[in-house]
Amino acid sequence: MNRPIRRIAFVLGLLLVALVINVTVIQVFLARDYRDRAGNQRILLQEYDRERGPILVGPDPVARSKETGDTLTYQRMYSNGPLYASVTGFYSLVYGATGLERTENSILTGKSSLFVVDRVQQLFAGRQPHGGAVTTTISARAQAAAFNAMKGKRGAVVAIEPSTGRILASVQSPSFDPNLLSSHDPAAIRDYYNALTADPNKPLLNRPIVALNPPGSTFKLVTTAAALESGQYTPDSVLPGPATYLLPNSTKELHNWNGKACGTKGQVTLRQALALSCNTAFAWLGVQLGDAALRDQARKMGFDSAFQIPLRVATSHFPDILDPAQTALAAIGQYDVRATALEMAMVGAAIGNGGVLMNPYLVQEVRGPGLAVLQTTDPSTFGTALTTANAATLTDMMVNVVDKGTGTNGRIGGVKVAGKTGTAQTGNDNPAVAWFVSFAPALRPKVAVAVVVEDAGAAEVSGNGLAAPVARAVMQAVLR
């Protein structure tokens, strides 16, 4: 009998030790993680008793707390909620927080270590603690222009200030109203949330930073940069541009978007190939450069790097291992190349900023409850994507795309605009996506824009017809 009892005692002892270890890990090491989870109802209820700080666009609050007189003292309110939903996210009694409401929660609730002195002052003064303010980098004009231009379309827009990395616009379409998720009626919140999640257009998806699509011909900017950086090619280098290109070691043929040969008798310069968006020329060029050169150039422009702005951004990707046929397709932004709208805006921004890519960011300042500035985001460099000389050369080639090529709808009177159209097949008989990447003014750009429109037509002109007018509206809003 003693041996079975000893075995049971040993097992119970192990379980007790495991329990003590588990409790210790949760209460000591994981306490903050559990506390800060978006759906933690206990913490949320505590937070409803104090005034949550505002989220600002310029001087104007786009998210603020309103006193209710109910059991839950405050309710979150959003002015122009759908317009800024991709930035603010929502703050919900049932579903927790998303967007800046989540990432900047410690600031907005006043629990950040930045507010230690303020909390002590409030304690001695007998005042109820309340949160600080978060000032975004968003331009109200650019955001509104992007939102209005995307009405009736499904996709995303991102605008960046090339010299700093400040995000001037981040728009998803369709959007949603965060006010309906921040009410104090759990049943109404669930009904609206369920309707959003059931919508095939996925209005809750933060498309500017989460949706990954093949970049199509806008990736030819990366391929061109790699060609210029190799030292083997100039804008006047002549490339083969036949109507069809037989993929290496394959029986499959690649066609130009208009079904025709490029240039004169199937010969085209690199400058002309970019302006005409010649698939066959760039597929051939990609194979000559090799997948390693394309991959290296893509990574210099932000591909395969994780960014937090402070919202977590989906990682844009260039494939790790490619055979020659796959390399040809990757060179025109197909195969397994995937990018967010933010990433393609960064590509344009790097070219426009003399080859230097800045880290993107969405929060400009953190302010205390009295709106005194406590913290400011300083611009930081991600790296050098290409030389200053090659960036200037590629800029000139992009201006030619808008002036004489496929990007004519990106033109702005009196302003030189650099741009590139793109249309990408998404596979499985799904509709193509249309792109436009641009910046202006071309020589000293104040804004770089990437627009992606889903459910586009199959031709290259859809990037010019659907996406370029949206980009033009955003650029005009920033430049006026």
Assess contact for 352 and 162: CB atoms under 8 A. Answer: yes
Query: Which of the two residues, 261 and 117, has the higher pLDDT score?
Result: 261
At 109 the three-state DSSP class reads: coil
H/E element, 169: strand 167-173
Instruction: Give how far Cα 85 sits from Cα of 98, 149, 191, 200, 348, Å.
Output: 10, 16, 18, 18, 25
Q: Give residue 443's pLDDT band: very low, low, confident or very high (50, 70, 90).
A: very high
Q: What is the mean pLDDT of the segment spanning 288-313?
A: 98
- Specify whether 113 is catalytic: no
Assess contact for 93 and 13: CB atoms under 8 A. Answer: no
Looking at 65, 173, 217, 277, which residue is catalytic? Answer: 217
Identify whether 123 is part of a domain: no
Identify whether 439 is part of a domain: yes
The token duo for 282 is: 């760039």
Nearest to 467 by CA among 479, 431, 455: 455
User: Residue 120: is its pLDDT beyond 80?
Assistant: no
Identify whether 280 is part of a domain: yes
Q: What burial class does residue 266 get, using C-beta atoms within 10 Å of its C-beta: 0-12 exposed, 13-18 middle, 19+ buried?
A: middle
Identify whether 43 is part of a domain: no
Identify whether 122 is part of a domain: no
pLDDT tens string 362-400: 999 999 887 788 899 999 999 999 999 999 999 999 999
Identify whether 6 is part of a domain: no
Assess contact for 269 and 263: CB atoms under 8 A. Answer: yes
Total domains present in the chain: 1
Q: What is the pTM of this model?
A: 0.88
Q: Distance between CA 207 and CA 205 in Å, rounded?
A: 5
pLDDT tens string 257-277: 888 999 988 899 999 999 999
CATH number for position 228? 3.40.710.10
Assess contact for 243 and 255: CB atoms under 8 A. Answer: yes
* pLDDT attached to residue 98: 97
Identify whether 255 is part of a domain: yes
Instruction: Give how far Cα 102 sits from Cα of 95, 106, 209, Å.
Output: 11, 9, 16
Q: What is the mean pLDDT of the segment spanning 450-466?
A: 82
Range of the domain at 327: 210-363+382-479
Strands 381-384 and 356-358: antiparallel
Identify whether 38 is part of a domain: no
